[in-house]
Structure 1
Amino acid sequence: MNKHIEKAMELRNETPMVNNCAQTIMRVYADELGIDENLCAAIGCNFGGGMKCGGTCGAITAGLMVLGAKGVDSPMAVQQFRKGIAEKHDGMTDCADLLRANAQKGGDKKTHCDKMIQEAIELVDKLLDEKQ
């Protein structure tokens, strides 16, 4: 498991769990972005739960924020990131749709969201490696 995923799972397994998907990803990359973890958590606070309204998954939005902050902003890279996640989830990228589909399969929310975080981090790391 890579260091970003390890830290993300540590954050997600804290009791009580206080980090949504977006906050988790933002905090994982805080040092590399030169930003305080608390500021990263504040930046990500309104993106969890699909911007708190079931829209685009917080793991996706945070992944795109990290990529942008690291200089990966080409339309092709953004499309590759979104498509990489959507392909694993029947084309879905909205939190409400993803959670509904997960529940229909009998899955629980935390496990699903943890998996989304891991997938987003893997894609972020892959795109950052390709940039270098």
Structure 2
Amino acid sequence: MTERQQRAQELHGKGYNCAQSVACAYCDLVGLDEQTAYKMAEGFGLGMGVMDMCGALSGAFMLAGVKGSAGIEAPGTTKAQTYQQTREMANAFKEKNGTYLCCELKGVADGNVRRSCPGCIEDACALVEKMLGL
């Protein structure tokens, strides 16, 4: 486990949700302060609050946007690249875990837990490091 992956796990252990854990573990590498990253990611835990898209993966997507966006200086010019990157991350996560939906990862409907939250955080962090070079 890398230092950043360990940091994300420690943050989760302190009560950060999955999205916050991933976003905050790397926020300094994309020029974002931890307080802002924490607040920005709060609504994305528990699968966006409704057990939909995995919160850890959502945190990785946030980092992709912050890292790759040209910002308001050049609206719309980088979103296609960011969308491609997030699709690749989602596909890789799904390939490893069978799904990227929180309710399926947690086995809500069928009782088959596919991946724990710490495992999802580890996987999302690995994607951040591999695909975003952080």
Normalising by structure 2, what TM-score?
0.80
Q: Which runs of 5+ in 1 are unaligned?
A: none
- Alignment-derived partner of residue 118 in structure 1: 122
SS of match in other structure, 1:104: coil
Whether 1:78 aligns to 2:86 is yes
Q: For 2:20, which of 20, 23, 36 is the aligned residue?
A: 23
Structure 2 partner of 1:41: 38
RMSD of aligned Cα (Å): 2.4
Question: Comparing 76-85 with 19-28, which one deviates more in the overlay?
Answer: 76-85
Aligned AA (2:117): C
Aligned match for 1:97, one of 104, 127, 134: 104
Unaligned runs of 5+ in 2: 70-78
Q: CA deviation at 1:68?
A: 1.5
Change (3 A) 1:106 1:118: closer
How far apart are the structure 2 equivalents of 1:63 and 1:31? Answer: 14
Matched, 1:7 2:7: yes
- Closer, same or farther: CA 106–27 of 1 in aligned 2, 3 Å: closer
In structure 1, what residue type is equivalent to 2:21?
T
Q: Give the C-alpha shift of residue 66 in structure 1.
A: 0.3
Runs of 4+ in structure 1 off by over 4 angstroms are none
1:59 equivalent in structure 2: 56
How far apart, in 1, do the equivalents of 2:84 and 2:3 lie? 26
Count of aligned positions = 123
Amino acid at match of 2:19: A
Identity between Structure 1 and Structure 2 (%) = 29
TM-score normalized by the length of structure 1: 0.81
> Partner amino acid for 2:132?
L
